[in-house]
Amino acid sequence: MQYCSTVTPTIMESKLLSTPVYRVEIKDLSAVTVASIRFKKNRGNLTRHINMIYDVIRDNGSGPPFCLYSGGGEYETDIDICVPMEVTEADGIIANGTLKNEAIVFKDLPEARAIYTVHEGGLDSVSLAYKAILDFANSENILLDASARETYIYGPGAMFDSDENDYVIEIAITFEADELSFL
């Protein structure tokens, strides 16, 4: 069952911030295997780290890159930059069971339920999408986990020059599935 809501800003928010309207919904995230780098920095290093993964995995990515944010605040936190992929030793990426670049590891991320929305625009305004998710969770009495996933459909790490105002970022914050027993 799909459950969704549209979070509309107040008139004052719209005038002051040109706040977008977000379609917020509950979504099932599929299990995925990723190549990942973990670091504790601010967002300013995203493109560099995404490109480090692509330098190692080359054409073996099977989806857009995403970041998992856990703990800390919005701008200084643990960040796992991930690229979904399917890899075999024949791909030449793995030597003796490990990646050729020791900073990059493989992980299996389990399936999960999440509150989800899409942000269109720069990273400087992505907090508005997070606010829409938090408002939705509060209105439905859903207790969120302390981690978020930003999937860069068009954004940092793109193989072409991208204007930050044109970014398209899917944002998902997970929660325990039993939180939705009422649906």
Instruction: For the chain, give every domain's residue range.
Output: 4-180
> How many angstroms separate the Cα of 85 from the Cα of each of 40, 89, 93, 107, 172?
23, 13, 12, 10, 20
Picking from 2, 17, 15, the residue whose alpha carbon sits closest to that of residue 126 is: 17
Q: Are 28 and 122 in contact (CB under 8 A)?
A: no
Instruction: Give the CATH architecture of domain 4-180.
Output: Alpha-Beta Barrel (3.20)
Question: Phi, psi at residue 114, to the nearest 5°?
Answer: -145, 155
Pull the structure tokens for residue 76: 């200084």
Q: Which helix (H) or strand (E) holds 127?
A: helix 127-139
Give the whole-angstrom CA distance, residue 109 versus residue 68: 11
Model confidence at 162, pLDDT cuts 50, 70, 90, reads low
pLDDT tens digit sequence for 51-83:
888 888 877 888 999 999 886 555 567 889 999
pLDDT of residue 113: 95
